[in-house]
């Protein structure tokens, strides 16, 4: 009990913002996320975010010197989630998670709550049901029925899916309006063993994954290996070495470490991807999913589908009559 009480004395603080004409030139090895809109990097005491179009910088520190911060995710080039950890995994030590905090990089303010992160808020599951809580104080009850804290949710833009004993359910989130400033193109530079093509612009860097574009050609680099993925219009980090992407006519999954790709025919629409799984609807209305550890994709339905979302185990979609459907990915 004493130890738990002491932990509450240490908090994550955000130092006052500074505004410059441009973001500081962060050491390449310390950058965890980078794009034309936002840069997130680690210094010796915590993390720094800089909104590139405005030059607004925030510094994140923990008052406990034994706690270290790690970047968990970035949403919409604005919302940054940092994890607080104590100790290390090893034979003589254990890693203790002290929680995850979501911040607005444009203001440095924390978003109250925990749970599944969405732009500007969280979606919680528990005794109060499934509830969305936003940074502006709004709440939305998506389902008042008590839910397990371990309930899996699947997201596609504003739409969220989940399973119940009676079958899949869905709801729409009222997300905050996007207020990010327009970002200028950013010339790619050599980073994390990746040398860009001359004249290539940075799409995004996810720690050791570097995505660049030159004209209609997008390349993904990981630890010196560079793989072309065509004229990709969307790229999403999946894990430390994998990305999913959409290009005209296809959705793909790339293991950037080996260069191995899987692709499904796609009629377009938002990218549906999760750990080792992609899904897409083709021009004939056939919905397929591919667990990339399998040799072949799986036909989910031939009856048409929209607003497809995936988890590592399931595919969710709206049928032609608007009802939510789900199927296990094999």
Greater confidence (191 vs 24) lies with 191
Q: What is the pLDDT of residue 150?
A: 93
Q: What is the mean pLDDT of residues 95-114?
A: 89
How does the average pLDDT of the chain come out, rounded? Answer: 91
Reported as a pLDDT band with limits 50, 70 and 90, residue 11 is low
- Give the end of a domain, one of 156, 172, 188: 172
The answer on 104 and 23 residing in a single domain is yes
The answer on 259 and 143 residing in a single domain is no
The answer on 104 and 132 residing in a single domain is no
Domain that holds residue 131: 116-172
Place of tokens 């897409």: 280
Q: What is the pLDDT of residue 20?
A: 66
The answer on 231 and 133 residing in a single domain is no
The answer on 268 and 159 residing in a single domain is no
The answer on 125 and 107 residing in a single domain is no
Place of tokens 């738990």: 4
Residue 28 DSSP label: G
What are the pLDDT digits (tens) for 54-91?
A: 999 999 999 888 899 999 999 999 999 999 999 887 77
pLDDT at 4 over 60: no
Whether residue 13 lies inside any domain: the answer is yes
Q: How far apart are CA 26 and CA 84, in angstroms?
A: 22
Q: What is the mean pLDDT of residues 206-212?
A: 97
Q: How far apart are CA 57 and CA 64, in angstroms?
A: 22
The answer on 128 and 106 residing in a single domain is no
The answer on 142 and 58 residing in a single domain is no
Q: What is the pLDDT of residue 6?
A: 37
The answer on 151 and 49 residing in a single domain is no
What are the pLDDT digits (tens) for 233-275?
A: 999 999 999 999 999 999 999 999 999 999 999 999 999 999 9
Helix H, strand E, coil C: the string for 251-282 is EEEEECCCCEEEEEECCCCCCEEECCEEEEEC
Number of domains in the chain: 3
pLDDT at 9 over 50: no
The answer on 140 and 101 residing in a single domain is no
- Give the end of a domain, one of 89, 111, 133: 111
Rg for the chain, CA atoms, rounded: 21
Whether residue 190 lies inside any domain: the answer is no
Which 3 state secondary structure label does DSSP give 6? helix
Least confident of 2-6, 216-220, 275-279, 296-300: 2-6
The answer on 237 and 307 residing in a single domain is yes
Whether residue 196 lies inside any domain: the answer is no
Which 3 state secondary structure label does DSSP give 157? coil
Whether residue 132 lies inside any domain: the answer is yes
CB of 263 closer than 8 Å to CB of 252: yes
- Give the end of a domain, one of 65, 80, 111: 111
Q: What is the pLDDT of residue 7?
A: 38
Whether residue 73 lies inside any domain: the answer is yes
Q: How far apart are CA 330 and CA 179, in angstroms?
A: 40
What are the pLDDT digits (tens) for 133-178?
A: 999 999 999 999 999 999 999 999 999 999 999 999 999 999 998 7
The answer on 53 and 76 residing in a single domain is yes
């Amino acid at each position: 009990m004493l130890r738990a009480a002491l932990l509450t004395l240490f908090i994550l603080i955000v130092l006052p913002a500074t505004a410059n004409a441009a973001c500081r030139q962060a050491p390449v090895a310390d950058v965890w996320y980078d794009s034309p809109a936002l840069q997130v990097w680690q210094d010796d005491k915590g993390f720094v975010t800089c909104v590139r179009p405005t030059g607004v910088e925030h510094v994140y520190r923990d008052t406990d010197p034994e706690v270290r911060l790690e970047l968990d995710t970035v949403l919409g080039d604005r919302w940054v989630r940092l994890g607080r950890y104590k100790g290390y995994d090893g034979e003589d030590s254990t890693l203790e998670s002290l929680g995850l905090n979501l911040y607005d990089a444009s203001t440095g303010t924390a978003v109250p709550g925990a749970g599944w992160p969405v732009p500007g808020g969280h979606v919680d599951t528990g005794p109060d049901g499934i509830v969305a809580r936003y940074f502006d104080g709004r709440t939305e009850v998506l389902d008042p029925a008590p839910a397990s804290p371990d309930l899996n949710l699947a997201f596609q833009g504003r739409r969220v899916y989940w399973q119940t004993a009676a079958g899949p359910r869905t709801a729409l989130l009222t997300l905050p309006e996007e207020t990010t400033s327009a970002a200028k193109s950013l010339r790619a530079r050599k980073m994390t063993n990746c040398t860009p093509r001359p004249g290539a612009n940075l799409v995004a860097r996810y720690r050791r994954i570097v995505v660049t574009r030159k004209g209609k050609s997008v390349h993904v680099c990981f630890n010196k290996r560079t793989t072309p993925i065509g004229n990709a219009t969307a790229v999403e980090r999946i894990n430390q070495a994998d990305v999913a992407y959409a290009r005209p006519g296809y959705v793909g999954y790339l293991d950037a470490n080996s260069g191995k790709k899987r692709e499904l025919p796609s009629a377009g629409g938002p990218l549906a991807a999760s750990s080792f799984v992609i899904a897409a609807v083709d021009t004939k209305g056939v919905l397929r999913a591919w667990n990339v550890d399998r040799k072949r994709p799986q036909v989910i339905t031939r009856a048409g589908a929209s607003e497809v979302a995936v988890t590592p185990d399931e595919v969710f979609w709206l049928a032609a009559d608007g009802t939510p459907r789900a199927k296990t990915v094999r």
